[in-house]
Amino acid sequence: MKHNGLTSLFFALLLQLSTAQQANVLESDVIGFSSRIEVDRSRPSTRDGSFGRLIQINTWYPTQAEKKAERMLFSDYLRIKSAEMGETASEENYRKTVEEYYQWPLSQGADKALLDSIASAKLPMNAIKNASMAEGKHPVVLLIHGSAVDFAFLGESLAEMGYVAVNVPIKGYRQQELDVNSIGMETEIRDYEFALSVLSENEQLNLSGMIAIGFSFGGQSALGLACRNPNIKSVISYDGGIGDRFGARLLNESHFCAPENVKADLLHIYDASFARTYLDKIKSMVYAKRTLVGLNKIAHWHFTSFGHLASLIPGLFGENKFALNGYETILRITKAYLNSGSEKTQSELKFPETEFDLLHKVEYFEPIKTD
């Protein structure tokens, strides 16, 4: 096995972690999705500056709906995205949304014709729109920095595991584009704080022991949210900014996220080839359990829905050096990390050998004991 010793170490570390500690998470083979718009009247609108910020709250969840019920299509998630700013549904607005959605993957080398095929194809998903939530109390995972379409496959996978996955799309403070600075970090944090205040009315949600998954810039937003909300017990960074100097600087500038305030367990999965990787900030968070997993042959887009789409559509990102199983590897590491707090055995957590060809480096740091 190419990474035999490293893989064995990785699983040994996973089994030591007390991440989510969700021993009673009930898996579901039928899942639902819902999207709603709420108004935060304490903050300005992104349209005209008047008070009333529109917040789209997207949730994936276990359901008891009939298996034969009609499933969503991937294009339905694009239509959800077209309503983020409160626009009236129209084909013109939908086409504009699709065009904007393609801008980032095109900048990463995606094939335009193959991208166009995604929106036009009736790619089936697993979620049933607006199905009722399954009975019981469900643990919560927050998906930070992206839209419902960016987290579509991840959100559905988490719901199948028994979690309720919650997403609030990216928006700037007074405009649609995110402020890529401390204002943007604070904006993302407050959007999720507002969403949690709305969701707290749902007695089926277990808001203690939450997990926050932050992609890219959302890595520092997820960590900042955890610093302010002790109910978040675990943070998973998807190639997050906490692993580079820019994100470290934003955390240093915050008044609430000093190293002594970081208590949530932390998993940082990152591109090991990234030239500006800077892990010293994470290593300085000595009061938290920290697991750092570096992967080879992956790109930033592997951590989004495009990672899974690339495995479904050969050549989506051209003939490049990146692995087709990058997204699947990231998802399996995530699931193993979440399950490590449950009663699952090591044998149940083993992965097929080929899916660990990407594993480059694993580091684990215990917290300083304070008692």
pLDDT in tens, 20-53: 344 457 788 899 999 999 999 999 998 887 889 9
> In sequence order, what are the residues at sequence separation of 6 or more whose Cβ sits closer than 8 angstroms to the Cβ of residue 147?
77, 80, 81, 84, 167, 169, 170
**What is the rounded distance in angstroms from the CA atom of residue 306 to the CA atom of residue 313?**
10
Can you spell out the DSSP letters for 170-199? ---SSSSS--SSHHHHHHHHHHHHHHHHHH
If we measure between CA atoms, which residue out of 240, 232, 223, 227 comes closest to residue 303? 240
356 band by pLDDT with thresholds 50, 70 and 90: low
> Given phi > 0 = left and psi -120 to 50 = alpha, else beta, which region is 139?
beta
Asked if 166 contacts 194 with a C-beta cutoff of 8 angstroms, the reply is: no
User: With 70 as the cut, is the pLDDT of residue 357 above it?
Assistant: yes
The answer to whether the Cα torsion of 273, 289, 363, 338 is positive or negative is negative
**Contact by Cβ (8 Å): 330, 302:** yes
CA distances from 325 to 67, 108, 142, 166, 322 (A): 28, 18, 24, 25, 9
Q: Is the pLDDT of residue 6 over 90?
A: no
pLDDT band at 352 (very low <50, low <70, confident <90, very high): very low
Name which of 31, 116, 26 is nearest 78 in CA terms: 116
pLDDT score recorded for residue 314: 87
Secondary structure (3-state) at 118: helix
CB 250 within 8 A of CB 280: no
Question: Per-domain residue ranges for the chain?
Answer: 4-365
The predicted-structure confidence for 134-173, as pLDDT tens digits, reads as follows 999 999 999 999 999 999 999 999 999 999 999 999 999 9
pLDDT digits (tens, 9 = 90+) for 208-263: 999 999 999 999 999 999 999 999 999 999 999 999 999 999 999 998 999 999 99
Hey, which bits of 16-94 come out as E strands?
31-44, 51-62
Averaged confidence pLDDT in the chain: 89
The CATH architecture to which 4-365 belongs is 3-Layer(aba) Sandwich (3.40)
In DSSP terms, 295 is beta-bridged to 271, 359
Residues 6+ apart with CB under 8 A from 57: 35, 36, 37, 38, 166, 167, 168, 195, 198, 199
Torsion over CA of 28, 31, 35 and 39, rounded to 10 degrees? -20
Residue spans of alpha helices (H) in the chain? 4-16, 74-81, 91-107, 112-120, 152-161, 182-199, 218-228, 245-253, 280-283, 305-312, 326-339, 346-349
Q: How far is CA 117 from the centre of its chain?
A: 25
Residue 197's pLDDT band, with cuts at 50, 70 and 90, is very high
Q: What is the pTM of this model?
A: 0.91
Distance between CA atoms of 175 and 258, rounded to whole angstroms?
29
- Can you give the pLDDT at residue 240? 98
